Amino acid sequence: MIEVRDLKKSFGRQAILDGVNLRIEKGESVVIIGRSGGGKSVLLKHLVALLKPDSGQVLVDGEDVVPMNERQLLPVRHKFGMLFQGAALFDSMTVAENIAFPFRREKKMAKEEVARKVSEVLAMVELPGTEEKKPSELSGGMRKRVGLARAIVYQPQIVLYDEPTTGLDPVVSDSIDKLILRVRDRLDVTTVVVTHDMRSARRLGQRIMMLHDKKIYVTGTADEIFESKDPLVRKFIDGISDAN
């Protein structure tokens, strides 16, 4: 479904990704782990062509998205839904307007149908009755739920999550993890999660990739990675730093 070949990206003189190769199959649930500032979010943004690489290919359903311009990318992006780190809700709109945003240009759909879809996804993310609230009135966890509702309302094939549990307390993090699993199972979507939360990674990932030193350092099933003897992987999973 998604394939990345020899992806290189640098900002100014600083190389962020240097020869990343990966493949994500349809219906799979993949977690990309790695240190903060290691380029995980940058890699995720390349998958949906929000960033252009310096070199390399990103294939979505066999189609290279790198040479496409913004207008050619619009139909490709219909396949994707993305939950951003800070939820990225449109703060001038209400929750309902945010979620109905993908339908705003589709004149064919009746208002009642849009409203029904909005309340359906809000119920799915366990936030019924919040349609008229503004994003500023919501807590961090609620904002992420609304962000997820907006990402899945038009039933994409792939959902990308950029650090979905960062900055949330363990209980809310747990509920977000459960929500991601529920969305995956109910909508049968391919899931790509970027995180450095090991508990989330273990729970969400059928396959885990570790990004280290600008490359995919290791790939394996969740069990393989969590039982790995590799010192670098162990250090990351156990959360041991080099500092004294």
Partner 1 sequence: MRKRLSCGLRRRKRLLREFPKEHWNQSLPTLGILPLGKFCSALLVSATVMISEAKQWVVEWIEGLGRLSILAREAITSLFTLKVAWCDFLYQLYFVGVKSQSVVLITGAFTGMVLSAQTYMQFHKVRMDTATLAVVSVAMCSELGPVLTGLMVAGRVGAAIAAEVGTMRVTEQIDALRTLATHPVDYLVVPRLLALHVALPLLTVESITVGIVGAWIVGVQIYDIDATYAWANMLKYTTTSVVVVGLIKAVVFGGIVALIGCYKGMFCGEGAEGVGRATTEAVVYSSITILITNLFLTLSLGQIFHTF
- Amino acid letter for position 244: N
Contact 175, 198 (CB under 8 A): no
Residue 13 makes contact with partner 1 by CB under 8 A: no
DSSP per-residue string spanning 167-222? TS-HHHHHHHHHHHHHHHHHHT-EEEEEES-HHHHHHH-SEEEEEETTEEEEEEEH
* Minimum CB distance to partner 1 smaller for 143 or for 184: 143
Binding mask 45-74 for partner 1 (x = CB under 8 A): x--x-x-------------------xx-xx
- Cβ 144 to partner 1 shortest distance, Å: 13
Secondary structure, 3-state, 114-150: HHHHHHHHHHHCCCCCCCCCCHHHCCHHHHHHHHHHH
> Could you give the CA distance from residue 55 to residue 5 in angstroms, rounded to a whole number?
9
- Cβ 242 to partner 1 shortest distance, Å: 28
Which range in 21-29, 84-92, 223-231, 232-240 contacts partner 1 by CB under 8 A?
84-92
Binding mask 144-163 for partner 1 (x = CB under 8 A): ------xx------------
* Minimum CB distance to partner 1 smaller for 9 or for 45: 45
The residues of the shown chain that bind partner 1, judged by CB under 8 A, are: 45, 48, 50, 70-71, 73-75, 77-78, 80-82, 84-86, 88-91, 101-102, 104-105, 150-151
